[in-house]
Amino acid sequence: MDERGGKTIFVQIPAYRDPELIPTLIDMIDRARHPARVHVTVCWQHDENERSEVFAAAGFRVETSVFEGRLRHRLRRGETIVDVLDYAMHESRGCGWARAMAQRGFNGEDYTLQLDSHHRFARHWDSELIDILEGVRSPRRPHPVLVAHPPAYVPGEHHVEPCNEGYQIDFVGFGGLGVVRTTSTTIDSPAGKMAPIPARFFSGGFAFTDGSFVRDVPADPDHYFNTEEITLAVRAYTHGYDLFHPHRHVVWHYYERADAPKIWDDQRLALKRGETALDGAALGKRSMWAAEAAFGMHGMPATPPPSWLGGRRSLADYERYAGISFALGRATPEALGRVEPSEADLHLDEAAWRARLCPVPPVP
């Protein structure tokens, strides 16, 4: 278990009208090994019927002040501080915007944990994550990132822990709502059962890495929802961060949220009633077009914004590492066959690299 002398964790959470937010915060705090070293900031997007009194009713001590022109409710439970930045639901501009707002609370912590607002945690999750991350850090890979779609939980139902099983994010094809389509499957390689393995893609709902990531690869406020994971994968890799799937999990995620309010539904109805000028569908299409243009898809020249790419690696380096070509709509046999990525293709000339690529049927 981690005993690394006071290392701190910044947890960033966007929460949109989510009744699971408070249970998530309580479980996170109560199950941490070092709760005083955990600092949370929440971008709380709520309707007119939700008041900050809900936090006091749940047992938090609440102090309200103004932070950068915004109401901030500072919650305390034991030794943990949770800063809740208060936004009305009609102010929301989507997931990327909400993550960017939550990141305003970063205060130079050693690590950062990116989550959604509906999770459960294993005992001593904080020390466990630090141990796993530090176990893959090396001079060759000095900035690892743990990413995955965690195992599922359902509110009110028992979930089995610990989860000594890893999950990898596999490539399915191009298209759909997120530039690329992926799926999560169980890691079945012998190496992946013993230690983290390299990953191609990012996870929006669970990512743990160095706190420097918040400054190096800040959330893109123009991203609306579905383009988050692929753009963060490219941006992280080009900034010198290496992605890994952990071989065990200490965080659970609530996936079956059919009745949960969705921002795009709320905005569609509010736009129809004339209550907002924000058009969720238009914002989503704009972020999709921006990602496709950045990656040179549909015959367009690749034009990634300068703020997206780091100076450590190029977009082409990411494509070769991940085994996919955005412009050609093709992928390597390894990417299609669930074989973990390597850096072997980085050393091929362009003709040899293209010769390895296979056609990929479009995803509707």
- Residues 249-262 pLDDT 10s: 999 999 988 888 99
Q: Are residues 44 and 95 in the same domain?
A: yes
DSSP 25-93: HHHHHHT-SSGGGEEEEEEEEE-TT--THHHHHTT-EEEEEEETTEEEEEEEETTEEEEEEEEEGGG--
Q: What is the mean pLDDT of residues 61-80?
A: 96
| Res 2 pLDDT > 50 | no
Q: What is the mean pLDDT of residues 245-249?
A: 97
Q: Are residues 332 and 184 in the same domain?
A: no
| Res 295 pLDDT > 80 | yes
Q: For residue 305, what pLDDT is reported?
A: 86
| Res 82 pLDDT > 60 | yes
Residue 196, domain extent? 9-253
Quick check: is 35 in a domain? yes
Quick check: is 302 in a domain? yes
Q: Return the closest-CA partner of residue 326 out of 194, 234, 206.
A: 234
Higher pLDDT, 351 or 363: 351
Quick check: is 290 in a domain? yes
State whether residue 363 is helix, strand or coil. Answer: strand
Average pLDDT over the chain, rounded to an integer:
94
| Res 4 pLDDT > 70 | no
Rg, the chain, Cα only: 20
Min mean pLDDT across 82-96, 103-117, 293-307 is at 293-307
Rounded CA-CA distance 267/19 in Å is 19
Which residues, at least 6 apart from 273, have a Cβ–Cβ distance to it below 8 Å?
A: none
Single residue among 233, 253, 273 that ends a domain in this structure: 253
Its pTM stands at: 0.96
Q: Are residues 235 and 101 in the same domain?
A: yes
State whether residue 268 is helix, strand or coil. Answer: helix
Rounded CA-CA distance 290/301 in Å is 12
| Res 238 pLDDT > 50 | yes
Confidence of residue 5 (pLDDT cuts 50, 70, 90): low
Quick check: is 1 in a domain? no
Q: Is 217 exposed, middle or buried (0-12, 13-18, 19+ CB in 10 A)?
A: buried
Q: Are residues 23 and 152 in the same domain?
A: yes
Q: Are residues 282 and 196 in the same domain?
A: no
Q: Are residues 97 and 213 in the same domain?
A: yes
Q: What is the mean pLDDT of residues 7-25?
A: 98
Q: Are residues 25 and 149 in the same domain?
A: yes
Single residue among 205, 235, 253 that ends a domain in this structure: 253
Could you give the number of structural domains in the chain?
2
| Res 3 pLDDT > 70 | no
- 6 — phi, psi (to 5°)? 80, 25
Rounded CA-CA distance 161/88 in Å is 36
| Res 93 pLDDT > 50 | yes
State whether residue 217 is helix, strand or coil. Answer: coil
Quick check: is 192 in a domain? yes
Q: For residue 74, what pLDDT is reported?
A: 98
| Res 241 pLDDT > 70 | yes
Q: Are residues 211 and 274 in the same domain?
A: no
Rounded CA-CA distance 283/260 in Å is 21
Q: Are residues 14 and 32 in the same domain?
A: yes
Rounded CA-CA distance 136/197 in Å is 9
| Res 197 pLDDT > 90 | yes
Quick check: is 364 in a domain? no
The token pair at 134 is 């530090």
Q: What is the mean pLDDT of residues 94-105?
A: 96
Single residue among 198, 231, 253 that ends a domain in this structure: 253
Burial string for 161-174 (b: 16+ CB within 10 Å, else e) reads: bebeebbbbbbbbb
Q: Are residues 97 and 31 in the same domain?
A: yes
Q: Are residues 210 and 63 in the same domain?
A: yes
Q: Are residues 175 and 114 in the same domain?
A: yes
Q: What is the domain-level CATH number for residue 103? A: 3.90.550.10
Confidence of residue 225 (pLDDT cuts 50, 70, 90): confident
